[in-house]
Structure 1
Amino acid sequence: MNTESEHVRYEAKANVKPMIELIGVSKEFLKPSGEVHTVLRDINLTVGKGEFVSIVGPTGCGKSTTLSLIAGFESPTKGTIRIQNELLDRINRLAACVFQTENAFPWKTVIENVSLGLRLRGTDKRKAYDEARKWIEIVGLKGFEGHYPHQLSGGMRKRVALAQTLIVQPQILLMDESFSALDVHTRHLMENELLKIWEETSASVFFITHDLEEAIALSDRVVVLSAGPAATVKGDYRIDLPRPRNVAEIRFDPAFMRLHEQIWNDLRDEVMISYAHSVGHK
């Protein structure tokens, strides 16, 4: 399991159909000064159907920009993005997002928030509520249907966000630092909950995190982005750890520790470059 050929560089299996493809993607923004700022340069990345892929990299390297491109919130300056082999040129209708910030409307109850996605799609209220109750139970919130967000803990609100997202049965789940604000114990609970739900669906997951341990514990692959500006893919690592996983326990596995050391050696260089760049601009 610890040989380089098995999980240093990942080659997609022939029987795994690509759900997401970024082909030669670059993204540029125009600064107020008129200078062109290149965030991403020549990104080539594939996420298979049902695959869990985490993206790590130093602050400001373009992880969230990459997610925005896949979601269709932004368009690439160069290159193409394909979803199920179709060119993405609008909002990605197969994707749903879970961000670090809360998604719930504070004036709506749990069941009203969770059912909202279906209601907006024209589903009858009774049917939407019936489906919402199923997902509320799946994420462990049965009995809290009538509560408002301010009456829930941070972990419970994050469960609401998951149910909100998953009720529309997205084929792609985009997650940007979704658990970073939680305490470590609640975070592990939510990570395990996410894995349990993901293993019961066929969703492809694109997960952004600054926590390398979290990335390894959750993922089939971990992709390392280089320091910005003009970040690109530096490393693509296959995570050959057995499933199902307990994210707290898997961290003590010797194979996990070897992977962490290997990927951190790649990531550390980029973190140092990013730090030196930020200090130099102060």
Structure 2
Amino acid sequence: MNLETVPVRYEAKVIAKPMIQLQGVTKEFLKPSGEVHTVLRDINLTVGKGEFVAIVGPTGCGKSTTLSLIAGFESPTKGSIRIQDQVLQGINKIAACVFQTENAFPWKTVIDNVSLGLRLRGTDKGEAYEEARRWIEIVGLKGFEGYYPHQLSGGMRKRVALAQTLIVQPQILLMDESFSALDVHTRHLMENELLKIWEETSASVFFITHDLEEAIALSDRVVVLSAGPAATIKGDYKIDLPRPRNVAEIRFDSAFMKLHEQIWNDLRDEVMISYAHNISNKQ
């Protein structure tokens, strides 16, 4: 593969086994004043089985709302969301979420936190513990099974969150700014850990980030949302970089830099529109 030859724009390909399909999705909310606020307008997006798709866009453009729709926490005002070609109604039962905030119970040990998802599904405690130990080892925390969250670093707690999520074997992994609170070195470690685990599973990943470099380093595609309100898809880029990747090293690749320049040209315009809109609203 010639890394110097990078397509400027990726038109959504036909995927044999779509996992997630947003078809003409519009999301509106009613303000206290009674005015209708449109967050998303006519979103059409497909994520294939095992595909890693990152979403970037200005603050407030509806990235997290899109994730909430896929998770089933919200319903679209117009259009439909299909999961494995079935219209989503209610909570998405084959998806799991990793958010920026901590989700470990502080009074439970690492192994109790990690095994909780299986226990809630009726799995025997011994079997749940055995599977929890396997995932604790996979995320690099072997030996910390009896520790409590406050005894762990931020990066270690994020590893616990990954193990908590992946132990239930979700077919869809939804991640919303999951590593943004970490320092840059820990973030790179966690990004590489995520890629390693993802490459060993067939999960589809929907990854929200404000960091364009992170989006390119991790994903198969980067989708750019326009500035809100009524955000739409501004661009959809194929990330034609080889795998496996080291997220710290790939950033120095000439093809990476070219992709970054191309995508930033789209994203920068939307960031400036969003900034101007926010300033005008404050005046």
TM-score, normalisation: structure 2? 0.97
Q: Distance in 2 between matches of 1:12 and 1:218?
A: 19
Question: Could you tell me which residue of structure 1 aligns to residue 13 of structure 2?
Answer: 12
Q: Distance in 1 between matches of 2:8 and 2:99?
A: 29
Counting only pairs closer than 5 Å after superposition, residues 1-282 of structure 1 correspond to structure 2 as 1-3=3-5, 6=7, 8-14=9-15, 16-282=16-282
* Native 8 Å contact 1:10 1:221 kept in 2: no
Instruction: Spell out, residue by residue over 1:209-259, the C-alpha distance to the aligned partner (whole angstroms, 9 max, x if none).
Output: 000000000000000000000000010000000000000000000000000
Aligned length, in residue pairs: 280
SS of 1:173's equivalent?
A: strand
Q: Distance in 2 between matches of 1:101 and 1:253?
A: 32
CA root-mean-square deviation? 0.9
Deviation, 1:11, is: 3.1
SS of 2:122's equivalent?
A: coil
What is the identity percentage for the equivalent residue pairs of Structure 1 and Structure 2?
86
| Closer, same or farther: CA 163–114 of 1 in aligned 2, 3 Å | same
Q: Which runs of 5+ in 2 are unaligned?
A: none
Amino acid at match of 1:256: F
Q: Distance in 2 between matches of 1:259 and 1:11?
A: 17
Amino acid at match of 1:216: I
* Native 8 Å contact 1:7 1:239 kept in 2: no
Q: Distance in 1 between matches of 2:46 and 2:8?
A: 16
* Native 8 Å contact 1:12 1:48 kept in 2: no
Q: Distance in 1 between matches of 2:8 and 2:85?
A: 26
Amino acid at match of 1:187: R
Deviation, 1:3, is: 4.6
Q: Distance in 2 between matches of 1:85 and 1:46?
A: 11
Deviation, 1:12, is: 2.0
Instruction: Spell out, residue by residue over 1:144-201, the C-alpha distance to the aligned partner (whole angstroms, 9 max, x if none).
Output: 0000000000000000000000000000000000000000000000000000000000
SS of 1:40's equivalent?
A: strand
Q: Distance in 1 between matches of 2:206 and 2:13?
A: 16
Q: Distance in 2 between matches of 1:265 and 1:218?
A: 20
Amino acid at match of 1:40: L
Q: Which runs of 5+ in 1 are unaligned?
A: none
Deviation, 1:9, is: 1.6
* Native 8 Å contact 2:25 2:44 kept in 1: yes
Q: Distance in 2 between matches of 1:98 and 1:256?
A: 26
Deviation, 1:123, is: 0.1
Q: Distance in 2 between matches of 1:33 and 1:121?
A: 43
Q: Distance in 2 between matches of 1:118 and 1:88?
A: 24
SS of 2:76's equivalent?
A: coil
Amino acid at match of 2:172: I
Q: Distance in 1 between matches of 2:117 and 2:11?
A: 36
Amino acid at match of 1:37: H
Q: Distance in 2 between matches of 1:13 and 1:148?
A: 46
Deviation, 1:17, is: 1.1
* Native 8 Å contact 1:7 1:240 kept in 2: no
SS of 1:126's equivalent?
A: helix
Deviation, 1:2, is: 4.7
